[in-house]
Amino acid sequence: MRNKKIEDKNSSIDEVNLVIPQSNGSNILFSWNGQEYELVIDMSYWNQPYPIEIFIDKIAQQYAGEVIIGESKKLGFQPVKYKQNINGSKTLILERWNETKLINS
- Segments of 1-105 assigned E as strands: 4-7, 13-16, 18-20, 28-32, 37-40, 78-84, 90-95
DSSP state of 53: H
Instruction: Please state the rounded mean pLDDT for residues 24-36.
Output: 87
Residue 45 CA: distances (Å) to CA of 69, 95, 101: 34, 44, 61
Residues 35 and 64 in one domain: no
pTM of the model: 0.65
Number of domains the chain contains? 2
Mean confidence (pLDDT) of the chain: 82
State what percent of residues in the chain have pLDDT above 90: 27
Say if 19 falls within a structural domain. Answer: yes
Which structural domain range is residue 83 located in? 48-96
Q: With a cut of 70, say whether residue 87 has pLDDT above it.
A: yes
Question: What is the total residue count of the chain?
Answer: 105
Note the pLDDT of residue 1: 42
Radius of gyration, CA atoms only, the chain: 20
Say if 28 falls within a structural domain. Answer: yes
Residues 22 and 56 in one domain: no
Q: With a cut of 70, say whether residue 48 has pLDDT above it.
A: yes
